Amino acid sequence: MSVSHSLSDPSNPKAGGDYAEADISSLLTMLSLLPDPRSRRGRRHSLVFVLAVSVVAVLAGACGFRQIAGQAADLPQSLLAKLGGKWNWYTLSYSWPSRSVIRRVLIGIDAQALDLLVGTWLSARADRDEDGVQVLALDGKVLRGAWTDDRGQMTLFSAMVHAEAVTIAQLRVPDGTNETTQVRQLLHDVTLPGDRRVLVTVDAAHTQRDTAAYVKGERGFDYLMTVKGNQPTLHKAVIDQCWPLLAGPAHDVVEERGHGRINRWSCWITNAAGIDFPHVRQVACIRRDVLDVVGVGLSKELAFVITSSPNDHSGAAAVNTHTRRHWGIENKSHYVRDTVWREDANQAYVGNGPHTLATLRNLAVGLLRLNGIDRIKETTERICRDRNRALFFMAT
């Protein structure tokens, strides 16, 4: 698993070196597989070049079409050449794509095909979790600055690897429906090496019989689902199964200190005998206690979860960890896209523009995360000061 570094840390191999030696051929080959929707007539820049320039710009913190174009115009000649730019014999320099070209390309390409290419490429580079399991968190994100043709809000539904916080699949939720109907479509193209065991974690909205039957019955993945009041019969059955356990000691306890308080997660787990739900094997209760620095309780809440994973694969410690890490998709993906790239404030709404920009942000986050970078904002600022630094991450 990657070791976390800051890009400004001299111990980080990405902090310096010969930029010309970076091999970005794998990334460029992946981008070259995307069909170009433009007519051949009048095409000045290749699709791969425009996309590669956009990746560099997003790694440097560009939020939208205007900022991507501004970054492109400032790229050094050596970097334009490395990305596949064309030599212009009239100006005796490598040319860059204009704002109109960038906007037209990013709006017109097949965003779902790009998502599939990027997700598959990142998935092949993501490590397993500590126990040899690939754990995927599924969740949706509303693009608040974008809207659909009927003035509704656009939603993207994605799958993120817990360990690296890398998004390996994403799709746009069709208008008139919601993300709970899209699990089959999202996971359909998720391909992992055959020797990997996969666990899918979801929130209570996705705790549906059809979802459990598909994830475990058809794909062979295990699931871990939160149970709440939207499934009242199941919720009561799980509470009844877990409640006697709370009189005894917890099977696993995790404690973290920070921000002037103590967070403690205690997990009790038992078999799912008598629970009527597809493929369920275990049920668990997780109690989160928030205490002040001297140990005085401030709040307490209970969460109930079910999983198709047997005890010899996922005991109390694993269930406790995976349930807490599920929310990494909010903190390490969605929150980062909003704070670093101002995604919710970005009002790109024409064509596939919002979806494409979100995919480029996922790719940028993935490239940084796979290289052990946690300080995303700081790193994009440093890349912005020298765009050649993006090459090291593109060579992942």
Q: What is the pLDDT of residues 211-248, one digit of tens each?
A: 999 999 999 999 999 999 999 999 999 999 999 999 99
| pLDDT at residue 346 is higher than 90 | no
Alpha-carbon distance 162 to 1, whole Å? 12
Is-contact 75 354, C-beta < 8 A?
no
Alpha-carbon distance 367 to 361, whole Å? 10
| pLDDT at residue 16 is higher than 60 | no
Q: Is the dihedral of CA 334, 335, 341, 345 positive or negative?
A: positive
Q: Which band of pLDDT confidence, cut at 50, 70 and 90, is reported for residue 194?
A: low
Task: Kindly report each contact of residues 109-113 with a partner whose C-beta sits within 8 Å and lies 24 or more positions away, as own/partner.
Answer: 109/34, 109/35, 109/36, 109/37, 109/47, 109/352, 109/356, 110/34, 110/35, 110/37, 110/352, 111/172, 111/352, 111/355, 111/356, 111/359, 112/171, 112/172, 112/355, 113/34, 113/35
Alpha-carbon distance 214 to 182, whole Å? 11
pLDDT at 244: 95
Residue scoring higher pLDDT (133 or 393): 393
Alpha-carbon distance 391 to 394, whole Å? 5
* pLDDT 10s digits, 359-388: 999 999 999 999 999 999 999 999 999 999
The letter for the amino acid at 336 is V
A 10 A CB-CB count for 304 gives 21
Through-space distance between the first and last CA atoms of the chain, rounded to whole angstroms = 14
A 10 A CB-CB count for 19 gives 18
Read off the pTM.
Answer: 0.90
- Contact partners, residue 10, CB within 8 Å, separation at least 6: 16
Going by C-alpha positions, the residue among 329, 281, 279, 327 that lies closest to residue 303 is 327
Going by C-alpha positions, the residue among 211, 206, 131, 119 that lies closest to residue 158 is 119
Alpha-carbon distance 367 to 31, whole Å? 14
* pLDDT 10s digits, 89-118: 888 899 999 999 999 999 999 999 999 999
Strand 197-202 relative to strand 133-147, pairing: parallel
